[in-house]
Amino acid sequence: MTENKMIYIASPYTLGCKEANVERQIDVAGKLMDHGFVPVVPLLYHYVDIDHPNSYEHWAEVGMALLRKCDAVLRLPGKSKGADAEVIEAQRLGMPVYYSMFELLLEE
């Protein structure tokens, strides 16, 4: 059952256009909600960082703290050391990692 299942979205941020990367996570979050999931959208902190800037390391720690509260990770395509580290942490925790919405929905 997907109801209330929290899905952490892991994807590129610093490579390419940051705003486009944030928008992609927002789009995926909407699709996850359409299927009854509760998306966790760490790149929304992009907007917090505008008024309250902090280091990359700080935001990476915030992301990891959020990830640890989730039920699974959805890893979107694209090169990203941060997203790769999030996948490694999820695997260490025994958390499922999905690489597409299709794969995620098949498991449900």
Q: Is 1 contained in some domain?
A: no
Its domain, for residue 57, covers 6-107
Tell me whether residue 101 is exposed, middle or buried, using C-beta atoms within 10 angstroms of its C-beta: 0 to 12, 13 to 18, 19 or more: middle
Q: How far apart are CA 56 and CA 42, in angstroms?
A: 13
> For residue 74, what is the domain's CATH number?
3.40.50.10400
Kindly report, residue by residue over 22-73, the tens digit of the pLDDT.
999 999 999 999 999 999 999 999 999 999 999 999 999 999 999 999 999 9
Number of domain units in the chain? 1
| pTM assigned to the model | 0.95
Give the mean pLDDT of 63-85. Answer: 97
